[in-house]
Structure 1
Amino acid sequence: MTMTTAPATGFAADFPATEDAWRAAAEAALKGRPLEPLISRRTIDGVAVAGLAPRAVPRVIVGRPAGARWIAMSRIDVADPEAANVQALEDLNNGSSGLSLVFAGQDRSGLVADNLKRLAKALHGVMLDLAPIHLDAAPYQAEAAAALMAAFVEKGQVAPSDVSILFGLDLLGDAVRAGAFAREWKEAASRGAAALNELRARGFASPVFVIDQRTAHDAGASEAQELAGALASAVEHVRALTDEGVDATSAVDSIAFVFACDADQFATIAKLRAGRLLWAAIRRELGLGDRPLHIHAETSRRMMTRKDAETNLVRTTIAAFAAGVGGADSVTVLPYDQAIGPAGPDARRLARNAQSIVLEETNAYRVADPAAGAGAIEQLTDALAEKAWGLFQDIEKAGGMRAAVESGRWAADIADVRKKRAASIATRKSAIVGVSEFPKAGERTPDAPATPAPTFAAATSASSASAFPDMARAFANGASFADFAVQPSGPRATALLSQRTAEAFETMRDRNEAQHPQPAAFLALAGPIARHSARAGFIRNLLAAGGIAAIEGPTGSDEAAVVSAFKQSAAATAILCADDADYPETIGLIAALKKAGGTVWIAGRPKDGADALEAAGASRFVAAGDDALAVLEAASAPALTRGAAA
């Protein structure tokens, strides 16, 4: 429940205003357009996002300590260990305070540090007691990566208790990423418990299990689904560990969460805050007191674009700010060219600097929970938590997260939401700047740089069945990941398939721009420029989003000149652009374009006279809210020739 309270200062008293007065002024400025749709919306979950809400009583959400900076992580995914080391030191010396090590696998690019020698090269000169580490392993390698890191720390001059490492074990992670459990659940739980006990015995105090919701996010999950998935997966881990003799406190305290954060600023802030509220509720259910949960955030891969990639700088900066304000303990910003291929040096530098600017310029970290008391965000936090708790209960009633993953229910639920989001993107209700809206016509997307296939170390004599303590000792004696290669032997599962939100538009645009000749549409401009320019601009923008050239006809010319220009254009489609009041005067032009072999479309959807336009030969009306992908597909279809039906 949201409650109002008196302002902490009298500053606002100098600017007297009421909500009613503000609404009246806003509605007057809109000249009759409704205000509420502009300031309020619903998330893909159906959760209301209020534009205006009274301030709320600030509450304590246990999280990052007040005044503590979040850890600005740099993503280290350069294959060569020595080159990776250069990148790591450059990042740490220029604003980063931690490293996210992205290990390469047989089917995944990243850092090739599959034995102690290579890892030592990659981390040479890195002060592990000052630079926290996040291990981001390829499928079926998390246990080996954790054992390798443990062996590396013990070979060095720093005590395990002095380092902060998110070890990255996730008993369900391989199944949702690769489509199969590494082992039968009982064996996986036993090995997980052994890893936890061994790491604690060696003195490591940081989280061992990382409940990673990036895969669900990249597959299209909603905010509430990500939260519910994190909660259900974490509870599944706690059950598995306690069944293996680990006490509940140790099991719960060994868990951290990883979330993807996108440019929906308020939803991102609320999601992270809701995650803490939900985990606190689980602790209470288990009879445990409050203790901060480590939340690592990475800017969303799903929101990244290949087209107009520089706009990703805006997206990732907003996401990083939202993650920090939402209370993330550590944040990784993806380079802006992440969707194109291996990041270039400028992109890495800008990703690093984005966090530095957010930290130093906003000073948001100096405030404990900066969003506390903001009525709209407090309401959204509670609404997301309530929605996620209900989804979590549904998962538990159906047998828990493991059952949901094995049965395919989890993948199916996410696919349903992805379809809703795809529809919103296709209609451009959810606009993607630089892709579905305001695309750069004629832009050439850089080719991904060629990278040689990494060479992995050969196996020695270690056994793939080795338990965690033996794995750590084997790595200290020269073993490599190849010694512990896993052939999945557990139940099959439905893998979550990653898809960027921009892919449908980008794929179509790439296809059309690669054709010779490039698909084109003719813009028949009727009436004065001032009256048709808005419609023409809308159509140009739409066509560019699909890689279709816009060939403009003459302005202010008679019917014969427009038809002649259309014939010379060789375009199959003529799109008539005019003001609604002028369309009745274009009946003859429509008929003439139709007679000239054109498929005639109308820009907009006139309230009056549509029947007469269709009778004259117009076959389609193109307006805001249409399925833009369907319109572009029709405009670029090879079968669409002069005289063919739309």
Structure 2
Amino acid sequence: MTADASAFTTDFAADFPSDEASWRRAAEAALKGRPLDPVVNAKLVDGVAFEAIRPRAPVRAIAGRPAGARWSALARMDLADIADANAQVLEDLTNGSSGVALVLTPDGLGARKIDALDAALEGVMLDLVTTVVETEPLGGAQAAALVAALVEQRGHAPQDVSVLFGLDLVRDALLAGSAADPASVADALKTLNGLGFSSPVLLLDGRVAHEAGASEAQELAGVLAAAVEHVRTLAAHGLDPKTVLDASAIALAADGDQFATIAKLRAARLLWAALRREFGLADAPLHIHAETSRRMLTLDDSQTNIVRSTIAAFAVGVGGADSVMVLPYSFARGAADGDARRIARNVQSIVLEETNAYRVADPAAGAGAIEALTDALAEKAWGLFQEIEAEGGALAALTSGFWQAKIGETAKARGKLVATRRMPLVGVSEFPKADAAGAPTATSDRSGGGDGGGRSADFAALIEAFGKGESLGVDAGQPVGAPLATARLSEPFERIRHANEAASERPAAFLALVGPIARHAARAGFIRNLLAAGGFATPDGPADASAQQIADAFKASGAALAVICGADPDYQESGAAIAKALKASGATVWLAGRPKDGRDALEAAGVARFVAAGDDAIDILTEATTIASTVASTAKGGAA
């Protein structure tokens, strides 16, 4: 029996509003009285506007990764043991990765000599993968020479090997407060070009500023300023703007803000083309390397990072990245195990194979909201770039502290959004998992250090020295300014939670439930979720009980803090009596919400703080911890 296909056909479009005005009325009805504009209109942290509902824009594909060209999905090589690193990279390359991120730092891959690097990359065909070199500050030229020596030892034609060598004067200054000798960078660029390498020698890195709290526009402006700084600085060593810019790639971070990340990569190509025009140069391909954001990763409930990283990987694929590094979900905890690496690898495989985004030249072209955000970011970034240039350029802006201050202001504004939970962190500030806390064991591989010491040699001699077994080190640096301080967004919450959960007696906050469950559940859930983010236990009092029964339950709980949770009408009826009874029992009394009526009476009865959505959660948790620790110290003193 064959069913008539038309019987199963539904005209879904017939039920959809046919014009914007009708759609807005339907959307407002679905929001049950909430205004629509704040839902569909927003601003990035630095004030760049994003309007989600915009008409279709004229299609203007931004030239980037060619249509049909897959981006390189990188495998991160950061295991210290050579045999383990080799086994891991071969597994990654066999199961979906198409490139390698060589982390040649003291706490990364333990390959300081050519034989060790050769062993770590045994079975890896360097002429078939994309290699991105990650180094410690002031170690760029040394690491580039080591990799070039390996290419030479293996007999590859340099022009057949795709290596992002990773040199960046400004990156070193951002991380270490010192910049490498421009002569060594110029020598490296000339030598590698002379040997026949055609892939980028300079990797202008926006990720450091991102990790320090920079906005999308600041990240882009910093990359532009770094490009001009290299043009300006290397000109004294015989390199013209075309040679420098043609030898440059850029690195950007990708976070869970999908549309901002897409727009950032698209804006980067517009800005790069504009920069080349300023130097009188024709447009040319730009390699964009993207890495999932480190600052968005959480230590607690780290599996939630899988979702963040998937969104970020999709965004940079749509945005046009040429190579992508998805960090393992457990990256904030330190070296990742095989399972975390497998998931990071599979995130890219799924994005590549299931979305087919790489098959389209510019998937976001014509999308009104993204096109507008692309242009807004480009305009904002260009203005910031001009401000840096007015300070004398990237290194001068770092020496004066101008750029650090600018990024610091943005980081502070973002920190306020995180603290007030207007920028929620799932698993940390929102819906914290009871057993997800962990010790902060990870250290960033973007710090200074190294086992070399201020060596200075011409680049060709370095390649020869590494070929003969010389050990990897760092060059001498020139002080520039204070380095940027990097941090993850979740750290303030995690710091409080870990301290409380490591305490000999876990702090608790008693929930005084007012009225039946239908009326107290919403605010009790809000307080329970908030305090759990700080590692507090939250024992419930009896529901719909008398003030004295609630006070007696508080005494039995052993808590120092009591939070009254209920509806405003119940607060007017019995809130003051409950607060008075709790205070008489020794409690510091808080109340959930900001009741419009009766506030004076509640304060007179003993309510010390009103806690509501939009308040600074870090401040609340810090005060709650102080209350609990003060009482605990007093109790210990009395027992002694």
TM-score range, shorter chain: over 0.9
Shift of residue 447, structure 1, vs aligned partner: 7.6
1:506 aligns with 2:507: no
Counterpart CA distance in 1 for 2:415 and 2:492 is 9
Shift of residue 67, structure 1, vs aligned partner: 1.1
**Residue 56 (structure 1) aligns with:** 57
Deviations 1:356-410 (A, max 9, x none): 0011111111111101110000000000100000000011111111101222221
Counterpart CA distance in 2 for 1:32 and 1:551 is 35
Shift of residue 272, structure 1, vs aligned partner: 0.7
1:145 aligns with 2:143: yes
**Residue 417 (structure 2) aligns with:** 424
Q: Determine which of 297, 300, 308 is the counterpart of 1:307.
A: 300
Q: Determine which of 551, 576, 597 is the counterpart of 1:563.
A: 551
Aligned residues: 615
Counterpart CA distance in 2 for 1:387 and 1:527 is 52
Q: Determine which of 588, 605, 618 is the counterpart of 2:607.
A: 618
The alpha-carbon distance between structure 1 residues 610 and 520, as it changes in their structure 2 partners (threshold 3 A), is same
The alpha-carbon distance between structure 1 residues 557 and 26, as it changes in their structure 2 partners (threshold 3 A), is same
Q: What SS class does the counterpart of residue 372 from structure 2 fall into?
A: helix
Partners of 1:115 and 1:457 within 8 A in 2: no
Q: Determine which of 470, 473, 481 is the counterpart of 2:461.
A: 470
Cα RMSD of the aligned pairs, angstroms, is 2.0
The alpha-carbon distance between structure 1 residues 35 and 496, as it changes in their structure 2 partners (threshold 3 A), is same
Partners of 2:437 and 2:497 within 8 A in 1: no
The alpha-carbon distance between structure 1 residues 529 and 14, as it changes in their structure 2 partners (threshold 3 A), is closer
Counterpart CA distance in 1 for 2:438 and 2:189 is 46
Structure-to-structure mapping, 1:226-305, within 5 angstroms: 226-305=219-298
Partners of 2:542 and 2:549 within 8 A in 1: yes
**Residue 217 (structure 1) aligns with:** 210
Counterpart CA distance in 2 for 1:534 and 1:633 is 23
The alpha-carbon distance between structure 1 residues 589 and 127, as it changes in their structure 2 partners (threshold 3 A), is same
Q: Determine which of 141, 145, 159 is the counterpart of 1:161.
A: 159
Counterpart CA distance in 1 for 2:437 and 2:16 is 50
**Residue 481 (structure 2) aligns with:** 493
Partners of 1:325 and 1:370 within 8 A in 2: yes
Deviations 1:414-455 (A, max 9, x none): 1111111111111111100000000012434268599xxxxx
**Residue 116 (structure 1) aligns with:** 114
**Residue 590 (structure 2) aligns with:** 601
Shift of residue 13, structure 1, vs aligned partner: 9.8
Deviations 1:73-94 (A, max 9, x none): 1111011222211111110000
Q: TM-score, normalised by structure 2?
A: 0.93
1:400 aligns with 2:393: yes
Partners of 2:437 and 2:498 within 8 A in 1: no
Counterpart CA distance in 2 for 1:525 and 1:594 is 15
Counterpart CA distance in 2 for 1:49 and 1:449 is 35
**Residue 5 (structure 2) aligns with:** none
1:582 aligns with 2:550: no
In structure 1, the gaps of 5 or more residues are 1-10, 183-187, 451-455
Partners of 2:297 and 2:488 within 8 A in 1: yes
Shift of residue 609, structure 1, vs aligned partner: 1.5
Deviations 1:70-115 (A, max 9, x none): 110111101122221111111000000000001122xxx1012111
Deviations 1:102-138 (A, max 9, x none): 1122xxx101211110110011111111111000011
The alpha-carbon distance between structure 1 residues 163 and 524, as it changes in their structure 2 partners (threshold 3 A), is same
Give the aligned residue type for 1:614. E
**Residue 74 (structure 2) aligns with:** 73
Counterpart CA distance in 2 for 1:233 and 1:140 is 16
Partners of 2:439 and 2:498 within 8 A in 1: no
Q: What is the aligned-residue identity percentage? A: 58
Deviations 1:262-289 (A, max 9, x none): 0010010011111110000011111111
Deviations 1:257-314 (A, max 9, x none): 0011100100100111111100000111111111121000000000000100000000
Partners of 1:62 and 1:290 within 8 A in 2: no
Q: What SS class does the counterpart of residue 420 from structure 1 fall into?
A: helix
Q: What SS class does the counterpart of residue 250 from structure 1 fall into?
A: helix
The alpha-carbon distance between structure 1 residues 23 and 212, as it changes in their structure 2 partners (threshold 3 A), is same
**Residue 175 (structure 1) aligns with:** 173
Deviations 1:41-87 (A, max 9, x none): 10011000112011101113121001111110111101122221111
Q: What SS class does the counterpart of residue 481 from structure 1 fall into?
A: coil
**Residue 320 (structure 2) aligns with:** 327
**Residue 22 (structure 1) aligns with:** 23
**Residue 44 (structure 2) aligns with:** 43
Q: What SS class does the counterpart of residue 274 from structure 1 fall into?
A: helix
